[in-house]
Each structure stands twice: as C-alpha cells, then as structure tokens.
Amino acid sequence: MTNEGRFVGVDVGGTKIFALLVTASGEIVGEEKVATAHDGTPMADQIGRAIDGVLSASELTVDRIEGIGIAMPGSVDSETGYLGTVPNIEIDDHRLIDTLRERYPVPVEIGNDVNLGTLAECWLGAGKGADTVVGMFVGTGIGGGVVIDGRLRTGPEDLAGEIGHMVLMVDGPECGCGNRGCFEALASRTAMERAIRDGVAEGRETIILELADNGRIKSGPLRDAFRAGDELVIEVMTRTAYLLAQGILTIRHMVNPDMIVMGGGVIEACEEFMMPMIEEHVRASHMKGSRDTLQIAVSQLGDDAVALGAAALVEAANSDLPVYEMRETAVRDGERDQASAPEASLLTAAAAEPGNVDYPRIDEVAFGSVTIDGERLDHDIHLRANGKVKERKKKWARKDYETSHILGPRELKKALKRGAELLIVGAGFDSMLRLADEGRDLLEQRGVRWEMLPTPEAVERWNSMQGRKALILHVTC
C-alpha cells in the first residue's frame, strides 16, 4: 500500500495557522484552520494542532504522508531552517524545524511564506506553464519571490526575492529596514497611506478618512474612494501604479522572467484599475527586449497559495527538479515506499526501481584522484542520482564541523539531490570520513539506505550497484 503521495503544507500567520492536505498533483484534499494563540503556547504545539487536525479529518496517520512543509513570515535560513525575525508572531523556538522533525517521522521543511506563495503560483496558479516567475505582493510592505526555471531561488543569504528592498530612489524616504528609498517605502499601502496623510496635512479634501477603518487606511476603502472619484486617492494610486511599474521594469532587467505574478491586499482590492495602469507604464518602457513577451498577471491561488507552496517545498528542498515536474517524482517516491518496506533488502529495493539513468562508470581511483569515464579528477566528488558529477566542496563540512572529515546534513542534502534512494560513501583510503549523528538522522528520516566503505571498495560497489544511487567519494585519507 502506498501513501498516495500526499503532503501537508502549513501557512503560519499572525492570526491563523492554515494547513492543507495536498496530493502530488496539487489537488487539495483536506484543510484545517486554527487561530494563532498569543498566550505563550509553544509554536510547535500550535502548528502540530493544525497538522494533526488536517490528518485526522482525513483519517490519516502521519506515516501515511510524504512530508510536511511549513511557511513562516519573516526570515528563514533555508539551509538550517533557523528562524530569524518573524513579524507578528511570538517565536519561542527559533529551532522550530528540529522540534517538528523530532515530532514527525517524515521529512519536514520550512521556508518563507512569500517565497512559497510564488512557488505555488508557478506550480498551479497564474504562473502555470511559465519557467521563470517573480512574485510581487503589495500590502503593508512589498514581498516577493523568485522562481527560476521552476526552482525557488533563495540565495546564500536568503535575500533573493526581497524586492520590497530594491532601492528605487537613492536617498529617498526611510524604509522599515533602515535603508532609504526602498521600493516598499515608495509603493506599498503604507507609503500610499503616508502620501494621503501628507495631502490632508496640506489641506487637500478627501473622503478616505471617513472610510478608514479605525484610522487605518486599508485596501478596501482605497478602492471605494477611487471608485467614488476621490481626487487625492486617484492621484496617489495613479502614482503608485507608476512606481509599481518601475519596480517591475527593474525586475525585468535583472531577471527577465516570463511572468510577474502580482498579489497582496492592494492588488486584490484595486486590480480593476491598478493593473491596466501598471501594464500601460510597463509597455511604455523605452528599453525594448528582443520580444515583448513579459506577462503581468494577478495571483490565482488566493489564501491557499502559501500552504500549497509549503507542500511543494517538501519536494523542492530535496531535489533539483522544477516545481512543475515534481508530480512525477512524488509518484516515483510512492513506488519507492512499496519497495523500501522494512523487509525489503537493498537489492530487491534497487531491483524494484531500476531508474533510467545512465550512471557514469568509475574507471579507477588512486590516492588523490579518481577517473570517471576516462576523465581524471584530482578532488573529492559527489555523484548525484541523475548521474551528474560534482566536486565535493570541503567548505560544506568545514563550516559546520571545522573539519572536512564529517558528513553533516548540509552536505548530505546536496549529495542526495535528484531523488537518491541509495547512498554510497567512499570514506577514504584510511576511512577518515565519518557520518555526523544529525547526518545519520537525515538519512533515516528520508528513508535513504547508505553504505560507508573504504574508497576502493566503494568504487566497486558503485559500479555494480543498481537503483537510484548517489556517491560521496573522498579520494585521500
């Protein structure tokens, strides 16, 4: 019996925690909403309540799913899952991912909510069919996400997609981040509100303050005032559409995506008049590309986007596959689960999933070098499940363990990309390479079977072994 490739995606917000049960093809088959508590209840318990709720409603136990993805606002270290600043939520546990991994015996991944919303739009929403998509979400601030060739781009400092902090006006107004002239200091709802209040201070007339909700100028009243012909509001929104278009042009000239997906409260409320204005300014650009093909669309997944993206993250964090190809992987993983039942041996498991990868043959290994398909390399290697050879970078291990002789999760995740189910480690001629405890945990958690062998034996094993395999080879001590 397979687990049918189901994933749980959780969108953690300041007012609610929203969990979806999602199939590998992105169909929503269950949902659970719990109010976010601000009474000191541990965040892991709150998230757990949403996860357990969506599972029990579907009469599923956690071991029947492929994994859990968590979307958090604010900054998340995509390598370690460590949470930085999280707005509007009290975080008692910045190592939330470890707590959840201890609690649930399936892969658990964590990422930034706006990034994941963009990933979902590329997978199932407005960006479906596009390879490269940038999300632009206009609300209190301006959030973004970058998906390149179907893969979420986070970057070494997890700053990719921080489009709200592109500097569009040097020495412009101060932004919440402390810098000046950021995009969101010019074109967010907060910036619009400030422009309106400045207008009022100068004696301009407007109905917006009467429509405002407890003094806050929200997106709905902005729309209503625009429709009612309020001159100040029309002026501010027209200017904002112009500024948003300048942000889009900057992104176009940096990334040249197939599509910009726009969303957030301002766009949702004011789409009917904002979008045509934005479109017009973008088309009027003097800088012409070879083809005028940039599409600007409004997000389609609404409140489900972030949780769907979190579900997609389970696969995205563990493979190099574009998000629109992950359905195939998930189905393959379902088959693997049949084969990797406890009684299945390594060999029967491998036979059940022969794969169709033409793996390179290792001709020879000597102290300090390895020869693969006739090519000699003078360094350690990773050989991934898709048959690609990569240099093993010692900095991965040194960063965490101050020695290159320990394999930890950071390096293993790289080695296991492309869906490895078997891992062979050539530990060196003196078997110096060791597996860190948390590395072992990662392998167990992912159901990857592994063998640590002295390097010459590992090479023989690699050449003879069938299945979706990966290799880490240390060519010295």
Residue 385 in contact with residue 468, Cβ under 8 Å?
Answer: yes
Neighbour count for residue 327 (Cβ, 10 Å):
17
Spell out the residues 6+ positions from residue 197 whose beta carbon is closer than 8 angstroms to its own: none
Region binding Zn ion by CB under 5 A among candidate stretches 178-186, 300-308, 432-440, 441-449: 178-186
Region binding Zn ion by CB under 5 A among candidate stretches 68-76, 174-182, 331-339, 393-401: 174-182
Residue 20 in contact with residue 9, Cβ under 8 Å?
Answer: yes
- Residue nearer to Zn ion on the CB measure, 184 or 315: 184
186 is a contact residue toward Zn ion (CB under 5 A): no
Smallest gap from Cβ 179 to Zn ion, in A, equals 5
The count of chain residues that interact with Zn ion, using the rule CB under 5 A, is 5
Q: b/e for 142-153, b at 16 or more Cβ within 10 A? A: bbbbbbbebbbb
- Residue nearer to Zn ion on the CB measure, 83 or 191: 191
Amino acid 330 reads A
- Residue nearer to Zn ion on the CB measure, 177 or 209: 177
- Sole binder of Zn ion in the list 116, 168, 175, 442 (CB under 5 A): 175
- Residue nearer to Zn ion on the CB measure, 182 or 425: 182
- Sole binder of Zn ion in the list 159, 177, 341, 366 (CB under 5 A): 177
Closest-CA residue to 313 (of 52, 109, 41):
109
182 is a contact residue toward Zn ion (CB under 5 A): yes
Helix (H) or strand (E) holding 376: strand 375-377
Smallest gap from Cβ 215 to Zn ion, in A, equals 24
- Residue nearer to Zn ion on the CB measure, 143 or 408: 143
Torsion sign, CA atoms 453, 458, 464, 469: positive
Region binding Zn ion by CB under 5 A among candidate stretches 130-138, 165-173, 223-231, 258-266: 165-173
Smallest gap from Cβ 183 to Zn ion, in A, equals 8
Region binding Zn ion by CB under 5 A among candidate stretches 17-25, 62-70, 160-168, 219-227: 160-168
Spell out the residues 6+ positions from residue 27 whose beta carbon is closer than 8 angstroms to its own: none
Q: What is the DSSP string of 60-90?
A: --GGGSSEEEEEESS-B-TTT--B---TTS-
Smallest gap from Cβ 182 to Zn ion, in A, equals 3
- Residue nearer to Zn ion on the CB measure, 162 or 304: 162
Smallest gap from Cβ 165 to Zn ion, in A, equals 4
165 is a contact residue toward Zn ion (CB under 5 A): yes
- Residue nearer to Zn ion on the CB measure, 151 or 165: 165
Find how far residue 462's CA is from the centre of its chain.
32
- Residue nearer to Zn ion on the CB measure, 106 or 248: 248
- Residue nearer to Zn ion on the CB measure, 187 or 458: 187
Smallest gap from Cβ 187 to Zn ion, in A, equals 12
Region binding Zn ion by CB under 5 A among candidate stretches 176-184, 294-302, 343-351, 397-405: 176-184
d(CA 473, CA 428): 7
- Sole binder of Zn ion in the list 179, 348, 369, 463 (CB under 5 A): 179
d(CA 267, CA 338): 46
d(CA 91, CA 75): 12
Residue 38 in contact with residue 15, Cβ under 8 Å?
Answer: no
Residue 387 is encoded by which pair of tokens? 């048959």
Closest-CA residue to 350 (of 443, 450, 469):
469
- Residue nearer to Zn ion on the CB measure, 41 or 88: 88
State the pairing for strand pair 422-426/362-366.
Answer: unpaired
Q: What share of the chain is helix, strand, coil (3-state, %, to 5)?
A: 40, 20, 40
Smallest gap from Cβ 1 to Zn ion, in A, equals 51
d(CA 410, CA 77): 12
142 is a contact residue toward Zn ion (CB under 5 A): no
Smallest gap from Cβ 198 to Zn ion, in A, equals 20
What angle (nearest 5°) sits at the alpha carbon of residue 152, between those of residues 393 and 18?
125
187 is a contact residue toward Zn ion (CB under 5 A): no
- Residue nearer to Zn ion on the CB measure, 143 or 409: 143
Smallest gap from Cβ 178 to Zn ion, in A, equals 7
User: DSSP alpha helices (H): ranges in 124-264?
Assistant: 183-187, 189-201, 208-211, 219-227, 231-255
Region binding Zn ion by CB under 5 A among candidate stretches 61-69, 142-150, 180-188, 345-353: 180-188
Region binding Zn ion by CB under 5 A among candidate stretches 22-30, 169-177, 211-219, 253-261: 169-177
Site string for Zn ion, 397-436 (x = CB under 5 A): ----------------------------------------
List residues near Zn ion by CB under 5 A. 165, 175, 177, 179, 182
